[in-house]
Structure 1
Amino acid sequence: MLKHKTSSAIVAVSDLERARDFYSNTLGLEPSGDDIDGVLGYQTGDTQLVVYRSADVRPGTGNAVVWRGGDDVEAIAESLRAKGVTLEEYPRLGMDMHRGVHRRDGFAAIWFKDPDGNILHVHSM
């Protein structure tokens, strides 16, 4: 689903096996084969996403990872919902949301969280 989309990020998680399940099975990312103890690497588009174990995970309030989803945002949203992922909505920001997808002037975007609460984002740009 996202393995051909461009990303660039490093994400801290508390449980590496739970993260491996989410990023591999839920998001469909393929390991890059560069794993070392406590670190997972995933190839996403032309870049790599690094997920590492941290005893002191503190998710931020902004996007930790962003993928360019192109015209696939709606299909990605549907795939995520089908896998039990909750799409985030931010009513305080005044966004027009329908089933977790924000649309405005030809732009589409979704937000969701990994098991540690890191905010992940896909947009149509």
Structure 2
Amino acid sequence: MFTNTKAFGGFSVDDLHEAKIFYREILGVEVEKLPMGILCLKFPDDNQIMIYPKTNHQPATFTVLNFPVKDVEKAVDELIAKGVVFEQYQDPIKTDEKGICRNSGPLIAWFKDPAGNILSILEDI
């Protein structure tokens, strides 16, 4: 039934304008504003993620979006320079002082968007 369907995901935010600035200016993602006040994050190969406003938004308690990168260390440094704060975890996953988890699979670091949704950058292996 869905073999040839191009599926996509989405998540909510409490401030669409703030989200647009964050994803475009801080993360460097192409952002398109769609009708009905929805944002579309555009990625290579015609992949996209929808972001929609929700007045009673509750941030996700899990990672909603992962960004594979060649060099996690470099990406963390670049985002820190732009003011992004990385999450610090101790148990069961431990992160170092930069927020990078180095001991369970590929290197990965988590941070939040302005709405509190959890995002990650991880080593593209």
The question of a shared fold, defined as TM-score above 0.5 by the shorter chain, is answered with yes
1:103 and 1:93 mapped to 2: Cα distance?
13
CA distance in 2, matches of 1:94, 1:65: 18
Match of 1:27 in 2: 27
Q: CA deviation at 1:63?
A: 0.3
Higher relative contact order (CA 8 A, sep 6+): 1
Question: What's the offset of the Cα at 1:44?
Answer: 2.1
Call closer, same or farther: CA 1:13–1:55 in 2, change over 3 Å. Answer: same
Measure the CA separation in 2 of the matches of 1:97 and 1:45.
Answer: 31
Instruction: Return the alpha-carbon distance in structure 2 between the equivalents of residues 35 and 100 of structure 1.
Output: 34
Deviations 1:12-46 (A, max 9, x none): 01111111111110111112x46222101111233
- Per the alignment, do residues 11 and 93 of structure 1 end up closer, same or farther by CA in structure 2, a change over 3 Å counting? same
Aligned in 2, Cα 1:98/1:9: closer, same or farther, shift over 3 Å?
Answer: farther
- Cα distance, 1:106–1:94 mapped onto 2, change above 3 Å: closer
Taking only the aligned residue pairs, the percentage that are identical comes to 33
> 2:20 is paired with a residue of what secondary structure?
helix
Q: 1:66 to 1:9 in 2, by over 3 A?
A: farther
What's the TM-score, normalizing by structure 2?
Answer: 0.82
Which consecutive aligned stretches of 4+ in structure 1 deviate over 4 angstroms post-superposition? none
For residues 45 and 74 of structure 1, the distance between their equivalents in structure 2, rounded to whole angstroms, comes to 23
In structure 1, the partner of 2:52 is 52
- 2:93 and 2:54 map into 1 onto residues whose CA distance is 34
| Gapped regions of structure 2 (runs ≥ 5) | 1-7
Alignment RMSD (CA, Å):
1.9
Give ranges in structure 1 of 5+ residues lacking alignment: 1-7
Which deviates more from structure 2 when the two are superposed, residues 46-55 or residues 114-123? 46-55
The one-letter code of the counterpart of 1:15 is D
Aligned length in residues: 116
TM-score relative to the length of structure 1: 0.82
Instruction: Specify the SS of the correspondent of 1:18.
Output: helix
